[in-house]
Amino acid sequence: MLGYCDNDQISYQLAHRFAKQRPEMISEKNWGLYTPQAESHLQSVMMLQTWNSMRAIDFLQSLDDVDPERIAVTGASGGGTQTFVISALDPRVKVSMPAVMVSTAMQGGCTCENSTLMRVTDGNVAFAALFAPKPLGLTAANDWTKEMATKGFPELKKTYEILGAPDMLMLHERTEFGHNYNLPSRQAMYRWFNRHLGLGSDAPDVEQAHKRLTDKDLTVWDDKHPKPKGGDDFERKLLAALREDSAKKVAADPEVARRGWEVVLDSKLKDAGKVEWQLVSKKDRGSYLEMPGLHNNSTYNEQVPVVWLYPKVKWNKHAVIWLSPDGKAGLYDQNGEPRPEVKKLLADGNSVCGMDLFLQGEFIADGEAVSETRRVKNPRESAAYTLGYNRPLFVQRLHDVLSTITMIRNDPHGAEKIDLVGLKGAGHWAAAVNFAAGEALDRVVIETDGFEFIKVKSIRDPDLLPGAAKYGDVAGLINLAAKAPWVVDKKGLPDWLK
């Protein structure tokens, strides 16, 4: 594993004890691990260790005395995490035994066991289940795995039964011991591997006597094979090389980027839920009606504060969703009047919807825009501890807009066409909505104002979006959308907004 023994080009402290952000590593070029730029490219210690596991299998399969069809993986604690991850991802693994790690409780405390986006909807039990129906052995001890026999293992057992392989799953439960990979657990592993790899041993659980070796005996580095240089420069060069390699793959196949964005945004219009409009009040403003209300999403138990402006001239059956960094207050100028573009829309017979997306407007006490996202209590400054288990704020806001589109489309008396406008400060949100909404939108206007996800400077920035730069940033969202948007930066405002 990274940072252990001879593999210390990435240090132990960096890989496993990282705690504070390093400002000197935050850069649009030549960044380091744990930075906003690394997160926007899905670069993490978890990723590097998983890649190393794949390369280790490559090496084993190159050896003359190794049967390439009988590869097994095991490890305990953090090694257990690496075990179930590589077992799920690499089909060459034939037998797997992650020890004292798979459970419904703690999912992995180390920075090397966490990655943004990883456990938002699923956890370690589901990841272990991805190995089914191949032989999977587990161990439980007096730690966070102590309830595995009743929480997690029954579900895994059901999975294996459905796949017709109930004998391919085993739990070695020894809760009288603490967190370990002790002799009884190792013996259970030897028996499991002997059975499923056909090793033919009559006494697989008997460990032979061994001589403990010194560091000098164990190291691979010597005068003829000097240790490669590590440190900050190596870290930067490694991530730059990974970015370059990834960029080539994305550029060669647009479908890679499209599928990547679908994962990153984690939002589909068809999954937005059941949403209904609730009127709170109605005010006659002369040339238009002002109707504050709520969009109630009963599927997810959510409410989004909105205001609808309806023209008193004949409605043209167009609904315009107006996104703003100021929330629904962005419909108005400093005097409380609709801003000129909104007046133009109303005069032409459009209805206009302003929204307080999550942590905008009514969601916050003083109404001021949030400058930092919420975070879990873990004091270490790694985004994975929050965004490995919770959707980014950007994605939550995208979901709010998709809910509104759903409400409009399902209203029997609603609009026949839906337009979307995201000007300065909201264009990147509109680009994501346009991508996720498919053909549901008619006219889409985006003003990026130079925003790019790679420029985000903090892991707590409201617009931090893991994976966004990897798949083409804002330009990628615009180019891959089913509906080509009108980009204000290049064309100015369209006539229907002037």
Tell me the average pLDDT of the chain. 96
Nearest to 90 by CA among 118, 68, 64: 68
Which tens digit of pLDDT belongs to each residue from 393-433? 999 999 999 999 999 999 988 899 999 999 999 999 999 99
Question: b vs e for 58-71, b when ≥16 Cβ sit within 10 Å of the residue's Cβ?
Answer: eeeeeeeeeeeeeb
Distance of CA 475 to the CA centre of its chain: 20
* Residue 225, pLDDT above cutoff 80: yes
What average pLDDT does this structure show over 481-485?
A: 94
What pTM was computed for the model? 0.94
Which tens digit of pLDDT belongs to each residue from 362-374? 999 887 789 999 9
Nearest to 125 by CA among 92, 148, 142: 148
* Residue 206, pLDDT above cutoff 90: yes
Nearest to 41 by CA among 464, 488, 491, 330: 464
Residue-level pLDDT at 337: 96
Asked whether 288 and 308 are in contact (CB, 8 A), the reply is: no
Domains 66-207 and 269-491 share a fold: yes
Residue-level pLDDT at 85: 98
Question: b vs e for 282-314, b when ≥16 Cβ sit within 10 Å of the residue's Cβ?
Answer: eeeeeebbbbbbbbbbeeeebbbbbbbbbbeee
Tell me the percentage of the chain whose pLDDT exceeds 90. 97
**Kindly report the CA angle at 128 between 124 and 132, in degrees rounded to 5?**
155
195 contacts: CB under 8 Å, gap ≥ 6: 135
Which tens digit of pLDDT belongs to each residue from 329-356? 999 999 999 999 999 999 999 999 999 9
| SS3 (DSSP) at 295 | strand
The alpha carbon torsion through 120, 123, 127, 130 (nearest 10 deg) reads: -80
For residue 51, what are its two tokens? 């890649």
In the chain, what are the domain boundaries? 66-207, 269-491
pLDDT category, 10, cuts 50, 70, 90?
A: very high
Bond from prior residue into 98 cis (ω within 30 degrees of 0):
no
Residue-level pLDDT at 414: 84
pLDDT category, 29, cuts 50, 70, 90?
A: very high
* Residue 377, pLDDT above cutoff 80: yes
pLDDT category, 54, cuts 50, 70, 90?
A: very high
371 contacts: CB under 8 Å, gap ≥ 6: 462
- Bridge partners (DSSP) of residue 97 are 74
Residue-level pLDDT at 486: 97
Asked whether 428 and 454 are in contact (CB, 8 A), the reply is: no
Distances (CA, A) of 303 to 1, 357, 463, 474: 45, 10, 21, 28
Q: Which fold has domain 269-491?
A: Rossmann fold (3.40.50)
Is 104 buried (19+), middle (13-18) or exposed (0-12) by CB count in 10 A? Answer: middle
Asked whether 1 and 49 are in contact (CB, 8 A), the reply is: yes
Residue-level pLDDT at 368: 79
Which tens digit of pLDDT belongs to each residue from 162-201? 999 999 999 999 999 999 999 999 999 999 999 999 999 9
* Residue 75, pLDDT above cutoff 80: yes
* Residue 98, pLDDT above cutoff 80: yes
What average pLDDT does this structure show over 247-275?
A: 95
Q: Which fold has domain 66-207?
A: Rossmann fold (3.40.50)
What average pLDDT does this structure show over 195-209?
A: 94
